[in-house]
Amino acid sequence: MALVIGQVIFPRNPLTLVSKASQPILEAVVRAFDRVADALARGDIELAEGGLTRLRSLDPQITEFYDALAVARETAWLSPPHRRARGQLRSYADASGAVDLLVRNARAVARAGLTAVRRESDPDAELIEAIRVLGAAARSLGEHLADPALAVHTQRLAAAAAHRATDVLRRRHDLSTSVLVGQVRATAFDLLRGSGLDAEAAREAIGPPAEEAVSRGGGSPGGPGRP
């Protein structure tokens, strides 16, 4: 009886349920990217450490997001008034893996940023801006999940972040820069996948690998290859 009342007669809106569970994660990622960019610009180790610590604390919220998605899909299946939400819930389901990967990649960006600050490297302003654009793309992903028509905006921002970062390697290819560029590109790739692009289209959107971009500019990177 409780199941019938809760899921059929007075069900929660499944889209609202999933949106509330995903937004705190995405907002935390956005703030973390901003912190990394600020830390690099100011050479602030404490700020860089704070961003990484926040990202490392997100695992319980990711679990809650997956649980909310499961409940929402069950609600949409059992409740006739909410069956129209099934299509949009597929967008959340398709993006759920990308949200998890986004957090993992954001941690990698934060670690690379922290390392760069500790080494007292002089970060390129364009690379700092690429990290900020990456944060805007993460915010746009959350908006796109609520409104699939906004996917193109997410894709443009993610691709822009990747291109900005890659262009930095034409001027600089020290280890700290190369690692940060690689992590920005990897994160942009997963944002593109989360926005609905297949792997081939996402690779095309972020452009050629870092090594190829550098070779065209007459240099060689100081770090490993990235997407």
Does residue 123 or residue 223 have the better pLDDT? 123
Contacts of 158 (CB under 8 A, 6+ apart): 134, 137, 188, 189, 191, 192, 195, 205, 206
Banded pLDDT at 82 (limits 50, 70, 90): very low
Structural tokens at position 203: 């690779």
Residue 122 — φ and ψ, nearest 5°? -95, 95
Out of 2-11, 48-57, 60-69, 110-119, which region has the weakest mean confidence (pLDDT)?
A: 2-11
Whether 85 shows a pLDDT value over 90: the answer reads no
- Amino acid 163 reads H
**CB-CB neighbours of 67 under 10 Å:** 12
Q: What is the pLDDT of residue 73?
A: 67
Domain layout of the chain by residue ranges:
12-217
Q: What is the pLDDT of residue 227?
A: 59
Q: Mean pLDDT across the stretch 138-167?
A: 88
Q: What is the pLDDT of residue 178?
A: 92
Q: What is the pLDDT of residue 225?
A: 40
Does residue 61 or residue 99 have the better pLDDT? 61
Using CA atoms, how far residue 14 sits from 5, 91, 122, 144, in Å, is 15, 13, 47, 16
Contact 124, 173 (CB under 8 A): no
Q: What is the pLDDT of residue 148?
A: 72
The CATH code of domain 12-217 reads 1.20.58.220
CA distance 190 to 41: 25
Banded pLDDT at 101 (limits 50, 70, 90): confident
Q: Mean pLDDT across the stretch 125-151?
A: 87
Give the tens place of pLDDT for each residue, 60-71: 988 888 887 777
Contacts of 34 (CB under 8 A, 6+ apart): 132, 135
Q: The pTM is what?
A: 0.78
Give the tens place of pLDDT for each residue, 106-121: 999 999 999 999 988 7
Calculate what percentage of the chain has a pLDDT beyond 70: 72
Q: Mean pLDDT across the stretch 141-156?
A: 82
Q: What is the pLDDT of residue 210?
A: 58
- Amino acid 127 reads L
Whether 222 shows a pLDDT value over 50: the answer reads no
